[in-house]
Amino acid sequence: MKKQKQKQQDYGMYAERLNNVIHYNAPDYQFKLSDEKYHNYATLVVGSNHLRITKNDTGLSTKDLKEHIINEWFAEENEMTRQRNNAKRKQKRLAI
């Protein structure tokens, strides 16, 4: 029996570049990073101060929505960045 491909879930989330600014879209909200230079940072752990909400139809407060966005869009990348940053710092401490 052939293994069936699992259908990928579509949550309606996508990012698009408009006027050299990347806008992140979901069905009920839209946001962008507060500064486009953050897209090029390798060691940045995205926090609420890095986000600008441009549309909020969720019923959540801006603070709660930012927390939701960080958990939904950036959690995995933030964790990998934290681990990489900590490993680099540990190596520097051992070298001293």
Virtual torsion, Cα 37, 39, 41, 47, nearest 10 deg: 100
- Rounded CA separation 63/69 (Å): 10
| Alpha-carbon span 60 to 64, nearest angstrom | 6
d(CA 55, CA 81): 28
Q: How far is CA 18 from CA 15, 21, 22, 23, 36, in A?
A: 10, 5, 6, 7, 12
pLDDT for res 96: 73
Render pLDDT for 1-39 as a digit per residue (tens, 0 to 9).
Answer: 455 554 445 568 899 999 999 999 999 999 999 999 999
pTM, two decimal places? 0.81
User: What are the residues facing 54 on neighbouring strands?
Assistant: none
Task: Report the pLDDT value the prediction gives residue 9, as an integer from 0 to 100.
Answer: 52
- The pLDDT value given to residue 4: 52
Average pLDDT, stretch 86-93?
94
Residue 8: per-residue pLDDT: 47
CA distance 77 to 17: 20
30-69 per-position pLDDT tens digit = 999 999 999 999 999 999 999 999 999 999 999 999 999 9
